[in-house]
Amino acid sequence: MRGSVNSILNQTFGDFEFIIIDDGSTDNTPEILASYTDSRVIIAGNKTNVGLTRSLDRAIGMAKGEYIARMDADDISLPTRLQKEVDFLDRNTSIGLLGTSWIVIDEHGNESDTARVYNGPEAVHCMCHGSVMIRKECLERARGYRPLFKYSHDYDLWLRLREICGVANLSEPLYKLRIHSGSISVTKKMEQDLFAALAVVSADERRETGRDRLSVADVEGSSKIINEWLALAGIKRRKALAHLYSTWSEAFFRMGEYRCACGHVMQSLRTYPLNSLGIIIIQKLVYHFVRVALARQGRT
């Protein structure tokens, strides 16, 4: 934790408020946080653990700045991260959601990979949550994170944000993302994908009708929708997940990342072979690779 906190306090850009939410920790987190005397640090504790999504919304409600930057407790922000994000958003007023490339590290801080990022509307499918900076005005218009999304709450928000503002990524890696055997992305992959599939279905509903079921339901109704979705089984669950993987495949196809598109569409068809969108993407990919092969033959 100290490494994460220090990486923010040591930023080259220093004009910020650093809101830290202690989500009902039972270890020595309060003592560690109390040791910081920097006036920019604002500590808010939850009496009980309420989860990441509600903690995020609490921090956003407390924030006074024009931009909101995210940071996870065991990750690292490189020294120029905030300065470069602020500079970009100052210059590009149409962009409301900005992420960066990131470096994957293990529990010991060893680097293993650097992510490749993209720009434009499809960027929402490959953003690192902890790296983002968002215009608070856009965040408020999108009504923030939806608390009932236990996982993939960031993906759901990105899909809603791109409907009201521009999306971009800085290609320079400015964030270190720690992934290990206990990471949520490893231990809760299926639940993550189910929530991500619900986020995609909700985006489809908004595109078709201007709103989604969750946005018009009350708390009880929203809880019912979430519980019914998580209870999907058999063919219905397979169809929902296949639609998610096909959506990702189509996004990567549009970005020209054909290998990634192939990987996701094959995952989609393995999950549900009769997935119509997956079959269409396979046809697009075959057409693309045939054209590439013919072009190479023409050159020889």
- Name the one residue in this structure whose structure tokens are 């521009």: 166
Per-residue CA distances from 299 to 50, 286, 294 (Å): 61, 20, 9
- Tens of pLDDT, residues 114-160: 998 988 889 999 899 999 999 999 999 999 999 889 899 999 999 99
- Name the one residue in this structure whose structure tokens are 């549900």: 272
Of 22, 59, 72, the C-alpha closest to 176 is 72
Of 84, 93, 74, the C-alpha closest to 169 is 84
Q: What pLDDT is attached to residue 50?
A: 80
- Tens of pLDDT, residues 204-234: 999 999 999 999 999 899 999 999 999 999 9
Number of structural domains in the chain: 2
Measure CA 24 to chain center: 24
Q: What pLDDT is attached to residue 183?
A: 62
Same domain, 51 and 169: yes
Q: Is residue 107 part of a domain?
A: yes
Same domain, 189 and 253: no
User: What is the three-class DSSP state of 174?
Assistant: strand
What's the CATH number where 169 sits? 3.90.550.10
Q: What pLDDT is attached to residue 300?
A: 47
* CA distance linking residue 172 with residue 159, whole number of Å: 23
Average model confidence (pLDDT) across the chain: 91
Question: pTM of the entire structure?
Answer: 0.91
- Tens of pLDDT, residues 8-27: 999 999 999 999 888 777 78
Q: Is residue 220 part of a domain?
A: no
Instruction: Output 11 or 296, whichever has higher pLDDT.
Output: 11
What residue numbers bound the domain in which 284 lies?
Answer: 234-300
Same domain, 253 and 167: no
Same domain, 249 and 138: no
Q: Is residue 207 part of a domain?
A: no
Q: Is residue 226 part of a domain?
A: no
Phi, then psi, of 147 in degrees rounded to 5:
-55, -30
Give the E-state strand segments of 124-226 in sequence order: 133-135, 166-178
For residue 94, pLDDT beyond 80: yes
Q: Is residue 269 part of a domain?
A: yes
Q: Is residue 214 part of a domain?
A: no
- Tens of pLDDT, residues 162-211: 999 999 999 999 999 998 766 656 668 889 999 999 999 999 999 999 99
Q: Is residue 92 part of a domain?
A: yes
- Name the one residue in this structure whose structure tokens are 């169809």: 239
For residue 32, pLDDT beyond 70: yes
Q: Is residue 152 part of a domain?
A: yes
